[in-house]
Amino acid sequence: MYLGHVINNKLSDDGDVKREIRCLFVRTNILLRRFGKWSVSVKLTVFRAYCLCFYDIGLWSKYSATVIKRMEACYNKCIKSFLIIIDLTV
């Protein structure tokens, strides 16, 4: 890791994309615990501010298509789980 960016011997950015996927899941779970009962507009604002901070995404140049698809699926899953609260107490 160098300045927050994962570097490997093959000069592939797959490891850094996977790290960002893990971080997105962690951040979303933290927000879900803290702000799970708030309104949708507040949740969107908090999600944009806290989860969409992809500072090193501009450095990604060599990555596989499967890892990017995982990143897209991760984002979709996180936004759905954060915005849609299922009431299990019924």
Report the share of the chain in percent with pLDDT over 90: 27
Cα four-point dihedral sign 90, 46, 32, 74? positive
The maximal CA–CA distance of the chain, rounded, in angstroms, is: 53
CA distance 47 to 11: 31
Please report, for the chain, the start and end positions of each structural domain, with discontinuous segments joined by +: 14-83
pLDDT value at position 27? 93
pTM of the complete model = 0.79
Higher pLDDT, residue 5 or 19: 19
69 has pLDDT over 50: yes
Predicted confidence (pLDDT) per residue in 18-27, tens digit: 888 999 999 9
